[in-house]
Amino acid sequence: MDEGIKRKLVGAAVLVTLVLIILPNITSKTKSAEHLSQSVALETNVPAMAMPLPEPLPILVSPEVREPLPAAKQVVMKDMEVDGQVLPLQGFEIPLTLDNGQAVVWQIQVASFAKVNNALALRDKLRDAGYKAYEQQTPDGKYTRVLVGPSTQKSALQDKLTRIKQAFKLTPELTLFKGS
């Protein structure tokens, strides 16, 4: 193909592209879409539709755990090397299990608030400090608890409890996780 024709085609393509980009910004109707809403008829006779809500799924709740529970056994683990970097492993706590085989799960109750905003503020501070924090309303709905966890590693949560107590000047307590 001749060089002159190629240049003319490229120039025409550039001009068409510029027109498509610049022209909508110049015209007044494209600056707002109000003219589009005026051309669409408003539906006023919308029938009311009754839709059944889906049935909630049952959540299995573990049987009541009686305290005191025996101390968990520690597994001694060697340091692990990953991509040339040595990761020190302190030890791993074997989770306690109930008769039905379900693991005992722990959580830290950091505080309880009557105002939800106070609970959310503390939850966010704990998250910013690196804790897996969440909030939960009490069954009566009057209070909002701030919790950290859950975990099957009781000793790890006890360490976190001590750090939270020192850093936030609160009196958290270790409790059993009972689900939702």
The whole domain housing 129 covers 93-176
Q: How many domains are contained in the chain?
A: 1
pLDDT at 87: 72
Residue 79 lies in a domain: no
Q: DSSP H helical segments within 61-176, as ranges?
A: 116-128, 154-168
Specify the DSSP element, H or E, that contains 37.
helix 34-38
* Cα distance between residue 160 and residue 168, in whole Å: 12
If you write DSSP's letter for every residue of 74-140 in order, what string do you get? Answer: EE----EEETTEEE----EEPPPB-TTSPBP-EEEEEEEESSHHHHHHHHHHHHHTT--EEEEE-TT
Q: Is the pLDDT of residue 122 over 60?
A: yes
Residue 158 lies in a domain: yes
Q: What is the CATH number of the domain that holds 135?
A: 3.30.70.1070
- pLDDT tens digits, residue range 38-82? 777 777 777 777 777 777 776 555 556 666 676 666 666 677 787
Percent of the chain whose pLDDT exceeds 90: 36
Residue 150 lies in a domain: yes
pLDDT at 46: 75
β-pair type (106-113, 173-176):
antiparallel
Those residues with Cβ within 8 angstroms of residue 103's Cβ, 6 or more apart along the chain or in another chain? 95, 96, 97, 152
- pLDDT tens digits, residue range 14-31? 988 888 888 777 665 555
pLDDT at 152: 85
Residue 27 lies in a domain: no
Residue 102 lies in a domain: yes
pTM over 0.85: no
Residue 74 lies in a domain: no
Residue 162 lies in a domain: yes
Q: Is the pLDDT of residue 111 over 90?
A: yes
pLDDT at 145: 95
In this predicted model, which residue has the larger pLDDT, 97 or 147?
147
**Number of Cβ atoms within 10 Å of the Cβ of 177:** 18
Mean pLDDT of the chain: 82
Residue 62 lies in a domain: no
